[in-house]
Structure 1
Amino acid sequence: MLLESYRLEIFNNECMPGAMTVQCFAHLDQDVSDALPFLNAELGGQTYIKDPPSVTFQLQGKLLTVHGRKIAVNALKDEAEARKIVEWLKREVNDAWERRDTITPRYEGLPRPQLIHILKCLPRTNCRECGEPTCMVFAARVAEGAKGSDDCPALTPAAKADLEAYLKPFAIDGDGIPW
């Protein structure tokens, strides 16, 4: 096991002290730098930086960044959610490291979906049935992975298939929380 322990630090955003969400750093007791290209290959990081190594994922509207000695996560409800996500990432780091002989490391991030393309798949009626004020906002939430094709009740089966096909190469599905 590469990553065994960490210390969790929970804090509010200094720029927005009244924010309803918190952020966290998990200060890692072991250096996981060598595992990052394998983790990136497995989870499809949106941004990969080689030096110093880090990989950033955008999942369910949250940014998760893994550095050699630190994990950073934003837009958290509370400490319990922070612990769930960090524990999930810990498992993913260790799993990728254990299977590194079978994984082709990836040293670049995935391409990002184009908001306008997502919007073109939507009905553009601004019906609000998805819980968002406009189809443009819904498209932005899809692009960040917080919403998926199942969240738009007005999508025709053909439009849903088009949207899912477009999102597949970006590793964005908006379905389920992995942690």
Structure 2
Amino acid sequence: MRFDMIVETPQRSRNKYEMDQAKQRLRLDRLLFTSTAYPYDYGFVPGTLAEDDDPLDALVLGETPTFPGCVIGVRPVGVFWMHDERGPDAKILCVPANDPRFAHVQDIQDVQPYVLKEIGHFFDVYKDLEPGKSTNVRGWEPRAKAEEVIVQAVNRLSRGPEGGPPAPADGLSM
């Protein structure tokens, strides 16, 4: 499975950007209250709707940050589960689809354990100082579960309020 993700918040940034889906503009949502920074580029998978009624969240492993609005062709290798004040919140962990440095990373067990701990720690503490916000991290699942979550998010969006059969997602290939 390969698809595009859109970066909202670059690696090492404390600025939390979010795409305003209605106006199609990138907004500065907030400066993280903690001293932590995003460990990798963070954004969303267009054409999806997660359980929190936002597009599905995604992170992409990389050596250097990109920029807000950058579109990256990626493939999933796992999913990180957490709950926040809005309920279940899946984070799809990806690698760049055409980067030879990540060709060997096919599933979650191929990612260095320290990297997984670093990402988990970030999501465990990044909302700690924000009034009314909290997180409860649940852990990692493999690529097969990530792909299942992506398909569910595509179907959730395509059904819309009336339901009906799902439409194929633009930019998503399996």
Assess same fold via TM > 0.5. Answer: no
Higher helix proportion (structure 1 or 2): 1
Structure exhibiting the larger radius of gyration computed from Cα positions: 1
Higher-RCO chain (CA-CA 8 Å, sequence separation at least 6): 2
- TM superposition score normalised by structure 1: 0.21
